[in-house]
Amino acid sequence: EVPIFCRLLAVALQEAEGTPIVGDVNVSTQVDAPIIGNIDVSLSHMAIDNVDVVDCDASVTDQGTFTVEIKKLALSLKELDWKYSQGRWPHVSDYGRATADTSFSFTIGIDMKTEQHNMLDMKLNQLDMHLGAQEHTWITKIIEKTTNFMTPAVSKVVELVARKTLNDVMGEIYKEGACAFVQGALKDLSLVDLSFTTYQPVVVEIPIIGNVSIRVNSTEIKPPTTMTCEKLGFNGTALHAHVKDLPFETKFLWAYQKANSSFWHNNGNGSASIVAGTMLDVDIMKPSQTKIAVLLPTLNIKLDAASDDWMYKAVGEVMPPLVKFSLQEFGGKLLAHYIEKCIEDPTCPHVKPMPQAESSASA
């Protein structure tokens, strides 16, 4: 199973495909070329054609510090604007728009408790490039062959992009915690068949009457359209959140029967307003092991005129555990599924398109 950090980084980088992600940035370096001496190399524009996190793994210490090892990041560039100029006479220069296939490896250290992260050991392992030189094609090829003058510049710009992506992703996780993964989950509740049913009658003791068996079966549940999510923290492997203020509306059938009595029995319709909540644990290393624990809901019950007054108390005892079980069963599966989908979906709130960078860098 792929750890969350690997998946988030892959999706965020893939979101940059086809988009110019280095606009007015001047990424530059200086290279010592045989015969002609120092040349200044700069990149002013880059667009990614395809990106793939081929091999990624993560580990965690007892203190909650993560090491994410990107063993291979394959990156194809469809546009890479470059230029170089000789520092001395005769001031040879050239420019062009290159395409390239590259692969990188690097390591990320993440401390969730202090909300700090860094990227280490960025290495360019492959660079296959078509330069597209415009002025001195043969000279430029010779310079590239003898100096690999594009290598440090490409390394610098890809590192800039990777750091920007990492900062965006981790910034959202630090800010929202587990809540980042459930924003928007309510829209999928309408696709889930929520219900609650007493498969076996529930026995409730009623003053004077004695024990009666009660059944309650839902006929309609209107799912919530609002919720509140409170970030709680991190325990070393999981992010915690309290999802609360989930208002449901339900209609149901009720019935009761006193054993061995032909008099004490009745049935009818009812409705209830339910406010539910859950405790959410998102497992960072193994997302499929994400857990929810539904809290006992509060109910405001209305029964039809055919009911006796004591039925309010009886139904009030029977329904909360039924609703809790239903939400645990169906809601838990829904949230776990939504979190999995959220991690893989670049439209999910925690992964945003990368804007053009606005700062300059030099090697």
pLDDT tens for 62-90 read 777 899 999 999 989 888 888 888 888 88
pLDDT tens for 172-202 read 888 888 888 777 666 666 555 677 788 888 8
pTM: 0.68
Tokens 């980088």 belong to which residue? Answer: 13
Q: What is the pLDDT of residue 189?
A: 60
- Buried residues in 225-241 as b, exposed as e (16+ CB within 10 A): eebebebbebeebbbbb
Here the tokens at position 175 are 């800010």
Q: Is the CB of residue 297 less than 8 Å from the CB of residue 323?
A: yes
Q: What is the pLDDT of residue 24?
A: 47
pLDDT tens for 314-342 read 878 887 887 777 766 665 556 666 666 66
Q: Is the CB of residue 77 less than 8 Å from the CB of residue 46?
A: yes
Q: Is 246 exposed, middle or buried (0-12, 13-18, 19+ CB in 10 A)?
A: buried
pLDDT along the chain (363 residues), means of 10: 78 72 65 79 83 88 86 90 85 88 93 88 90 82 72 84 85 85 67 72 82 87 84 84 86 88 84 85 78 78 73 79 72 62 57 44 51
Q: What is the pLDDT of residue 200?
A: 82
According to DSSP, residue 35 is labeled: T
Give the whole-angstrom CA distance, residue 319 versus residue 275: 13
Q: What is the pLDDT of residue 344?
A: 61
Here the tokens at position 74 are 């394959």
The residues pairing with 214 across neighbouring beta strands, listed in sequence order, are 202, 256
